[in-house]
Copies of this chain bind each other. A is one copy, B any other.
């Protein structure tokens, strides 16, 4: 499985290969430089520069007060960040790994997400919570969770996740600039993905709440985000090249999970008439359920087949040696596409797709 995201090809000469990690770091740097209210805090973000080195050099450039190593306590980090925001600062906190954000869950759900609402807008929470998430890097237990379902189900939060180098910069700047709290999910295994990119003149990208069609296609839409975007792009290429059927797959990168960009997604699905949602997070009660349900509500009469889902299994994230079996890969995506009832009329018995047990057809 590829971890490289297709990036818009370079045009200007000052574009050099940059990693997602570098673009994120640059976004933090520029935000710190542009706005004295921005403060970065978290475990090991200072002297060490973060375990993924995303905050590397920030403490040196802006001082330990602007990029602060905290004691080791996630509720404390989020809770003190709430207080800092109450005083007019714009905290950017780092949770070291997905599963290590859980100790701060109460602060996130009971305060960060609700403070604006309960105070009728008098205490907004312009806070960014950066969380490296997802698997594929051989992490041991508790280091590869896809926890987005929890954040999606929490009104008052925005949930944003980039898949490209340009988006990493643009969306992180937008998140920090947002007057609402943003859970900013960074796909771990894309930290080292590269694209040509100019840090001095970063590409303008659409803002929070906007999905983007990464690849045009006519046969079916793959709806995806974060770490599964490169997988879907690869699947689309494979379908084009190898597929006996010659499917021309459209790939939508959601970029923001909440609020959900219904218009872009629905427009694509209306055009193609078929859709598969792809994500790493477990399928049951995962983001795909919401997306499939919502798109079906909006596009029911355009659908030639039910919206299918390719997701992580409904299991705790596997140990490193078994993770490849869990992660949605190109083959699994293409299998799902194959089950989108391409023959005219209904074929019963498809695995996991349309009904396989009892009951009649149409």
Residues in A lying within 8 Å of B, measured CB to CB = 75, 99, 102-103, 105-106, 109-110, 113-114, 117-118, 141-142, 149-150, 152-153, 155-156, 258, 260, 263, 266-267, 270, 281-282, 284-294, 296-303, 305-309, 314-316, 346, 352-355, 357-362
- Flag if B300 contacts A355 (CB, 8 Å): yes
- Flag if B106 contacts A299 (CB, 8 Å): no
Given contacts A118-B141, A153-B149, A316-B155, contact A296 B286 (CB under 8 A): no
Given contacts A359-B266, A362-B301, contact A290 B285 (CB under 8 A): yes
- Flag if A297 contacts B353 (CB, 8 Å): yes
Instruction: Report Cα–Cα, A348/B289, bound state, in Å.
Output: 24
Find A292's partner among B106, B149, B152, B293 (CB 8 Å cutoff): B293
- Flag if B153 contacts A267 (CB, 8 Å): no
Write out the residue numbers on chain B whose beta carbons fall within 8 Å of the beta carbon of A362: 301-302
Given contacts A266-B359, A300-B355, A316-B113, contact A284 B153 (CB under 8 A): yes
Instruction: Report Cα–Cα, A291/B284, bound state, in Å.
Output: 9
For A319, the closest partner residue in chain B by CB is: B118
For A260, the closest partner residue in chain B by CB is: B284
Write out the residue numbers on chain B whose beta carbons fall within 8 Å of the beta carbon of A142: 110
- Flag if A285 contacts B105 (CB, 8 Å): no
For A262, the closest partner residue in chain B by CB is: B357
Instruction: Report Cα–Cα, A155/B290, bound state, in Å.
Output: 18
Copies of the chain in the assembly: 2
- Flag if B289 contacts A297 (CB, 8 Å): no
- Flag if A316 contacts B141 (CB, 8 Å): no
- Can you list 21 pairs linking A and B with CB atoms under 8 Å apart? A102-B105, A102-B106, A102-B110, A117-B315, A118-B141, A149-B150, A149-B153, A149-B285, A152-B284, A153-B153, A155-B282, A155-B284, A155-B316, A263-B357, A266-B355, A270-B360, A285-B289, A292-B297, A293-B307, A296-B307, A300-B355
- Flag if B293 contacts A296 (CB, 8 Å): yes
Write out the residue numbers on chain B whose beta carbons fall within 8 Å of the beta carbon of A299: 355, 359
- Flag if B354 contacts A117 (CB, 8 Å): no
Instruction: Report Cα–Cα, A155/B109, bound state, in Å.
Output: 20
Write out the residue numbers on chain B whose beta carbons fall within 8 Å of the beta carbon of A353: 297
- Flag if A106 contacts B109 (CB, 8 Å): no
Write out the residue numbers on chain B whose beta carbons fall within 8 Å of the beta carbon of A106: 99, 102-103, 105
For A269, the closest partner residue in chain B by CB is: B359
- Flag if A305 contacts B316 (CB, 8 Å): no
- Flag if B293 contacts A309 (CB, 8 Å): yes
Write out the residue numbers on chain B whose beta carbons fall within 8 Å of the beta carbon of A285: 149, 152-153, 258, 287, 289-290
Write out the residue numbers on chain B whose beta carbons fall within 8 Å of the beta carbon of A308: 297
For A306, the closest partner residue in chain B by CB is: B300
Write out the residue numbers on chain B whose beta carbons fall within 8 Å of the beta carbon of A361: 301
A293 to chain B, nearest CB (A): 4
A98 to chain B, nearest CB (A): 11
Given contacts A299-B355, A355-B299, contact A155 B315 (CB under 8 A): yes
Find A305's partner among B150, B291, B300, B306 (CB 8 Å cutoff): B300
Instruction: Report Cα–Cα, A156/B317, bound state, in Å.
Output: 11
Given contacts A292-B296, A300-B354, A302-B359, contact A114 B266 (CB under 8 A): no
For A281, the closest partner residue in chain B by CB is: B153
Write out the residue numbers on chain B whose beta carbons fall within 8 Å of the beta carbon of A306: 296-297, 300
